[in-house]
């Protein structure tokens, strides 16, 4: 096998490598037994495993964990499955942002916040890498809707593109050594992603130094030669006429051998890395059982409302209602979907063993519900889910709500029983217009195969829900800032970074439930919160968190940057930590902020932000536990030159006297009117501000001596000597 990575290939052999071998494989040199890149969808399971493959908790659910370790373990579990099904390149994760809750693939995505996405997904990638499996980070870029996705154009300004939509990709390229990136179907600023030189060559490979493979989304290449000239390395899936198209282009000089060789170099480099035979693969890899995965799902669920109805008690007589209780929606739809789920365990099976009584009506039929003595139950749990034409690749939602029959059933039931609990099965924010009619709301998102145990364990308190919303739940669809710039063929991202909590917090629009929100069965006391400044842009945050309850659980400490600057979001997530605590356990937490937390693209260049800000230690994007006002200021270590403002010198004791000396010698009058003025310019507000803002080169206009520039140069040299302590 070794020589295939070093041998000289003919141009024909190289051209053949640039397109897939079949639907999910690539790079198959002759006399090699199987293709070197063996791919499979998806972020929620290894589809290649067919009906045997496990369907894992979906990204929308695990993102709510805010738990780096959980994400690592999930990646490791999926990596183990990849190995089992001979897949060495998983077509995951998908890190597009939840720009609008209406987008069909949000279940596959993680958050509205790029930093949360980048950090959590980085751990997921590390987990896959721990099993020696490669990743394909997708869809690069701005695939934030499904409508017209093959031609849709995402028009977005450069700073927003970089600070928001590319940030998670950038973090993964720079921090997690990813092997491949998948270009998206859509256009970005008028150019299709698969042939977008700015995205692929300039930013991804040029600025970020990505040295892996750019893979096209399936059949998304519209101009093969342009794509390869602009940064694509592999067209997927196989396309039987691509070889001839590329060969003709090569022979006509439209596709250089250098370009071909560069893609082949990348393809072979990644193939070599991923072709680790299982025998020399780390045999200590952890085997995951269903309980491990179920626990991940339970812990990630978000308890949105609980007025004394959860957890259930053993004496409770409970009625489960809804088709979603017996035919639950456990995953989103499309290429990610893991087929043939036959062996689903259902909540009633588990709850019957733990409660005094647990009946179930597997529909929302009010007539049937009307025949039941609803008041005889201590609690009624309604399971809700979206239709199969929602939360799927290729479809966007037209509304935020659950199907009307489900909402009607909830409202009907609330008339006959005071203790209604609703379990939500969805991939993104929904309209909870029934919230006032119920006492408990559990956001279960899509749990994958473990639905029955995962939900039951939370309802009975076996496991405490510790999730926090990774997206904003708006009060109503009209509150979405980009509602009218969504679902069209050309979409203008006019809102910039102001969507999700960055919008709601800045424009004082009250969400139903805010980003970072989540209740728990525990009771966490936060104590001794301190924020210590350790450098211009360095802050060490510490606190003690105590679990003053009898439940095991996890607390999420969130750190936000709070700005009063109208051109900046009121809140931005800077950092977070998830702490696991046993009953009555206390832990000391340290979270460090460093310059990279305060670096943003501003007018196309990465810069340190500066000004007055609050650093908030919060329980959500709206619940501020502690705030410290800070001034972020980079002590510019500027050289003293002709552009140095006089104010910087006059206002600094080190330089003041020498500066005044030159000013007085060099200038026998201030050309501001009275030639004989003896007035000290610093006593005159106008003169002072004028002089203080003037750079050294400006005073040359007022020096009536021929050797003015020599004088000013001497001045600069003497001040520089002082600055460098040579004087
Ligand atoms: C699809 C998806 C992509 C998937 C690929 C292979 O169209 O956009 O996420 O990995 O094709 O199925």
pLDDT of the residue at 512: 98
Beta-bridge mates of residue 357: 317
In the Cβ-directed half-sphere of 237, how many Cα atoms lie within 13 Å?
9
The percent of residues in the chain predicted with pLDDT above 90, rounded, is 85
**What is the β-pairing status of strands 180-183 and 187-188?**
unpaired
First to last CA, the chain: 68
Beta carbons of 89 and 58 less than 8 angstroms apart: no
Q: How confident is the model at residue 672 (pLDDT cuts 50, 70, 90)?
A: very low
Euclidean distance between CA atoms 236 and 247, whole angstroms: 17
Question: 523: which 2 tokens?
Answer: 């009771």
pLDDT mean over 292-315: 98
- Ligand 1 pocket test: pick from 95, 335, 337 the residue with the most ligand atoms within 8 Å of its Cβ: 335
The tokens for 617 are 């230690």
3-state secondary structure 466-525: CCCCCCCECCCHHHCCCCCCCCCCEEECCCCCCCCHHHHHHCCCCCCECCCCCECCCCEE
SS3 content of the chain, % helix, strand, coil (to 5): 35, 20, 45
Q: Whose CA is nearest to atom 4 of ligand 1?
A: 335
Check whether 2 has a pLDDT greater than 50: yes
Centre a 10 Å sphere on the Cβ of residue 342 and count the other Cβ atoms it contains: 5
Residues 6+ apart with CB under 8 A from 244: none
CA 218 to ligand 1 centroid distance, Å: 6
pLDDT in tens, 390-406: 999 999 999 999 999 99
Atom of ligand 1 nearest to the CA of 94: 9
Question: For the chain, how many helices (H) and strands (E)?
Answer: 22, 25
Q: Output the residue whose Cα is nearest ligand 1's atom 3.
A: 217
Cα 258 to middle of ligand 1, angstroms: 29
Q: What is the pLDDT of residues 228-272, one digit of tens each?
A: 999 999 999 999 899 999 999 999 999 999 999 999 999 999 999
The atom of ligand 1 lying closest to the CA of 149 is 8
Residue 108 buriedness (CB in 10 A; 0-12 / 13-18 / 19+): buried
Q: Tell me the best of 142, 218, 338 to mutate to test the pocket of ligand 1, counting ligand atoms within 8 Å of each CB and taking the most.
A: 218
pLDDT of 727 reads 76
User: Taking the CA atoms of the chain, what radius of gyration do you get in angstroms?
Assistant: 30
CB burial readout 53-80, b (16+ within 10 A) else e: bbbbbbbbbbbbbbbbebbbbbbbbbbb
Q: What is the pLDDT of residue 495?
A: 98
Q: What is the pLDDT of residue 282?
A: 56
Q: Residue 100 and residue 473: Cα distance in Å, rounded? A: 11
Mean of pLDDT values over 589-594: 98
Show the tokens assigned to 531. Answer: 């924020």
Task: Pick the residue whose CA is nearest to atom 5 on ligand 1.
Answer: 218
- Sign of the alpha-carbon dihedral angle for 636, 642, 647, 649: positive
Residue-averaged pLDDT of the chain: 94
pLDDT for position 589: 98
pLDDT value at position 691? 82
Give pLDDT, residue 483.
Answer: 97
pLDDT above 60: residue 1:
no
Question: Torsion angle, CA of 172/178/183/189, rounded to 10 degrees?
Answer: 30
pLDDT tens digits, one per residue of 26-45: 999 998 999 999 999 999 99
Alpha-carbon span 15 to 3, nearest angstrom: 19
For residue 337, the number of C-alpha atoms closer than 13 Å in the C-beta half-sphere is 18
Reply yes or no on whether 653 is catalytic: no
Model pLDDT for residues 451-494, shown as the tens digit of each residue: 999 999 999 999 999 999 999 999 999 999 999 999 999 999 99
Quickly list DSSP for 324-363. Answer: HHHS---S-BSTTPPP-------HHHHHHHHSSEEEEE-S
673 — pLDDT class (breaks 50, 70, 90): very low
- pLDDT at residue 643 above 60? yes
Whether residue 280 has pLDDT greater than 80? no
What band does 676 get if pLDDT is binned at 50, 70 and 90? Answer: low
Q: Which residue is catalytic, options 41, 126, 217, 233? A: 217
What's 165's DSSP letter?
Answer: I
β-pairing, 213-216 vs 302-306, is unpaired
The tokens of 587 are what?
A: 């832990």
Q: 214: CA distance to ligand 1 center in Å?
A: 14
Which of the two residues, 6 and 335, has the higher pLDDT score? 335
How much is the average pLDDT of 524-548?
A: 97
Residues 116, 130: contact at Cβ < 8 Å? Answer: no
Question: In degrees rounded to 5, what are phi and psi of residue 23?
Answer: -65, -30
Checking if the pLDDT of 273 tops 90, the result is yes
- Up-side HSE of residue 688: CA atoms within 13 Å toward CB? 8
Whether residue 665 has pLDDT greater than 70: no
285 — pLDDT class (breaks 50, 70, 90): low
Most ligand 1 atoms within 8 A of CB, residue of 40, 149, 217, 339 to mutate: 217
Give CA–CA dist 59/71, Å, rounded.
Answer: 10
State what percent of residues in the chain have pLDDT above 70.
Answer: 96
Confidence of residue 533 (pLDDT cuts 50, 70, 90): very high
**Cα–Cα distance list, 32 to 3, 35, 261, 561 (Å):** 11, 7, 20, 54
Lining ligand 1 with CB less than 6 A are 41, 91, 138, 217-218, 335
Cβ(13)–Cβ(20) below 8 Å? no
Q: How confident is the model at residue 689 (pLDDT cuts 50, 70, 90)?
A: confident
Smallest Cα–Cα separation from 520: which of 560, 489, 491, 547? 547
| pLDDT at res. 276 | 78
The single residue listed with the structure tokens 């979409």 is 491
pLDDT reading at 522 higher than 60? yes
Kindly tell me if the per-residue pLDDT of 671 is higher than 60: no
Average pLDDT over residues 358-364: 97
Backbone torsions φ then ψ of 57, nearest 5 degrees: -50, 135
């Amino acid at each position: 096998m070794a020589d295939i990575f070093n041998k000289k290939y003919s141009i024909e052999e190289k051209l053949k490598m640039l397109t897939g071998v079949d639907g999910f494989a690539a790079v198959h040199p002759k006399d090699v037994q199987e293709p070197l890149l063996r791919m499979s969808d998806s972020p929620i399971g290894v589809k290649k495993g067919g009906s045997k493959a496990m369907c894992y908790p979906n990204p929308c659910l695990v993102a709510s964990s805010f738990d780096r370790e959980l994400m690592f373990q999930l990646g490791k579990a999926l990596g183990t499955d990849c190995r089992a099904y001979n897949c060495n390149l998983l077509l995951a994760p998908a890190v597009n942002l939840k720009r609008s809750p209406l987008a069909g693939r949000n279940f596959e995505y993680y958050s509205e916040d790029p930093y949360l996405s980048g950090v959590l997904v980085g751990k997921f990638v590390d987990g896959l890498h721990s099993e020696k499996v490669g990743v394909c980070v997708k869809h690069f870029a701005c695939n934030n809707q499904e409508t017209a996705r093959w031609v849709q154009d995402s028009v977005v300004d450069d700073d927003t593109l970089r600070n928001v939509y590319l940030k998670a990709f950038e973090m993964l390229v720079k921090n997690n050594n990813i092997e491949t990136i998948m270009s998206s179907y859509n256009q970005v600023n008028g150019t299709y992603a698969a042939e977008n030189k700015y995205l692929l060559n300039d930013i991804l490979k040029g600025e970020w130094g990505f040295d892996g493979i750019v893979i096209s989304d399936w059949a998304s290449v519209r101009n093969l030669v342009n794509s390869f000239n602009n940064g694509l390395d592999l067209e997927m899936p196989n396309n039987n006429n691509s070889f001839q198209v590329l060969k003709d282009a090569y022979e006509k000089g439209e596709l250089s051998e250098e370009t071909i060789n560069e893609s082949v170099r990348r393809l072979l480099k990644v193939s070599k890395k991923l072709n680790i035979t299982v025998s020399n693969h780390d045999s200590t890899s952890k085997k995951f059982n269903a309980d491990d995965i179920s626990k991940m799902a339970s812990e990630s669920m978000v308890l949105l409302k609980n007025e004394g109805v959860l957890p259930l008690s053993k004496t409770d007589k409970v009625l489960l209602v809804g088709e979603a209780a017996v035919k639950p929606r456990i995953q989103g739809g499309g290429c990610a979907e893991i087929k043939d789920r036959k062996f689903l365990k259902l909540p009633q099976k588990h709850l019957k063993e733990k409660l005094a009584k647990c009946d179930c009506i597997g529909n929302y039929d009010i007539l049937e519900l009307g025949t039941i003595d609803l008041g005889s139950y201590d609690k009624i749990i309604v399971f809700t889910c979206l239709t199969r034409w929602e939360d799927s690749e290729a479809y966007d939602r037209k509304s935020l709500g659950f199907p009307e029959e489900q909402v009607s059933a909830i409202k009907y039931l609330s008339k006959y029983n005071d203790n209604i609990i609703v379990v939500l099965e969805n991939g993104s924010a929904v309209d909870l217009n029934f919230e006032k009619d119920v006492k408990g709301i559990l956001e279960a998102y899509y749990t994958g195969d473990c639905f029955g145990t995962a939900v039951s364990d939370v309802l009975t308190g076996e496991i405490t829900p510790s999730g926090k919303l990774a997206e904003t739940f708006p009060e109503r669809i009209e509150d979405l800032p980009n509602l009218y710039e969504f679902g069209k063929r050309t979409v203008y991202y006019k809102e910039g970074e102001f969507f999700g909590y960055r919008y709601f917090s800045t424009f004082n629009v009250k969400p139903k439930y805010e980003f970072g929100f989540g209740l728990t069965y525990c009771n966490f006391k936060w104590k001794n919160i301190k924020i210590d400044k350790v450098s211009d842009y360095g802050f060490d945050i510490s606190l003690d968190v105590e679990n003053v309850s009898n439940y095991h659980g996890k607390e999420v400490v969130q750190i936000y940057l709070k700005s009063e600057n109208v051109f900046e979001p009121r809140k931005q997530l800077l950092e977070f930590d998830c702490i696991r605590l046993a009953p009555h356990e206390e832990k000391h937490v340290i979270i460090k902020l460093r310059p990279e937390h305060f670096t943003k693209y501003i007018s196309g260049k990465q810069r340190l932000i500066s000004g007055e800000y609050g650093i908030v230690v919060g329980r959500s994007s709206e619940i501020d536990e502690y705030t410290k006002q800070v001034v972020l200021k980079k002590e510019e270590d500027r050289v003293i030159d002709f552009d140095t403002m006089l104010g910087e010198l006059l206002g600094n004791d080190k330089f003041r006297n020498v500066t005044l000396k030159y000013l007085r010698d060099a200038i026998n009058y201030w050309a501001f009117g009275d030639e004989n003025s003896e007035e000290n310019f610093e006593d005159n507000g106008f003169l002072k501000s004028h002089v203080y803002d003037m750079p050294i080169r400006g005073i040359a206009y007022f020096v009536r001596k021929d050797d003015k520039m020599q004088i000013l140069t001497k001045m600069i040299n003497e001040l520089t000597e002082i600055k460098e302590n040579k004087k």
